[in-house]
Amino acid sequence: GENVEQHPSTLSVQEGDSAVIKCTYSDSASNYFPWYKQELGKGPQLIIDIRSNVGEKKDQRIAVTLNKTAKHFSLHITETQPEDSAVYFCAASIWNNDMRFGAGTRLTVKP
Amino acid sequence: DTAVSQTPKYLVTQMGNDKSIKCEQNLGHDTMYWYKQDSKKFLKIMFSYNNKELIINETVPNRFSPKSPDKAHLNLHINSLELGDSAVYFCATRETGLTDTQYFGPGTRLTVL
């Protein structure tokens, strides 16, 4: 089955800096890669996703890149703000199959 | 008007007890899940239900049993609770065939004493 690895497990940046979180997956048939943000005491919320027919996707300050050959994808957050502090999860799935999540990255943005 | 809701939000109970966590969704999705999140934040899928049929059981102990009275609900029953069951449990939903996106509930923090 699919195995998703996520790095780093913790990340601390200064406000205004960029943050990058990386994930690798094992199943080359995976074609959907979402990123979730989990704030303290809440459930994970989808922030951005990408499909295997696209190499990059942007939404304001966040972007995701996908390298199908290397089987890795990354989340990029620019101009970080304190409210970006949370745990971020990557995930991978094959169309209509269930997702496998990475272990999570705790991002801390220092004001 | 919450899309995926769970009750209770917190549950504290003694070892050996039987408890239930309820999940309700108003999105009209036909697939629902239960996840367990341990103290290290790792999300582990426990069950998924599609059209009232269990389609995944990820080696979860048989003390855990999902029950779906209708398409909008997937409840989690836990018998003979153990200390290791302490975790946050999340319900999630997905519209099968339309999207892969899963929508999560707010979670239920279970503490077994």
Give A-chain residues touching B41 at CB under 8 angstroms.
38, 87, 103-104, 106
Residue B98 has pLDDT above 80, yes or no: no
Give A-chain residues touching B43 at CB under 8 angstroms.
44, 89, 101, 104
pLDDT of the residue at B58 = 67
| DSSP characters over B13-63 | E-TT--EEEEEEE-S--SEEEEEEE-TT--EEEEEEEETTEEEEE-S--TT
pLDDT of the residue at B30 = 87
Give B-chain residues touching A96 at CB under 8 angstroms.
96-97, 100
What average pLDDT score do residues A93-102 get?
Answer: 83
Dihedral sign, CA of A22, A28, A29, A31? Answer: positive
Tell me how far apart the alpha carbons of residues B68 and B40 are, in angstroms, rounded to a whole number.
29
Contact B106 A87 (CB under 8 A): no
A77 close to A19: Cβ distance less than 8 angstroms:
yes
pLDDT of the residue at A89 = 97
pLDDT digits (tens, 9 = 90+) for B43-77: 988 988 887 678 777 678 989 999 988 889 999 99
Strands A105-110 and A10-14: parallel
Q: Could you tell me the two tokens for B18?
A: 């039987």
Amino acid (1-letter code) at residue B43 = L
Other beta carbons less than 10 A from residue A85's beta carbon: 19
pLDDT of the residue at B75 = 95
pLDDT digits (tens, 9 = 90+) for B12-32: 999 999 999 999 999 999 899
Residue A25, chain B, CB below 8 Å: the answer is no
A34 close to A48: Cβ distance less than 8 angstroms:
yes
Tell me how far apart the alpha carbons of residues B78 and B65 are, in angstroms, rounded to a whole number.
6
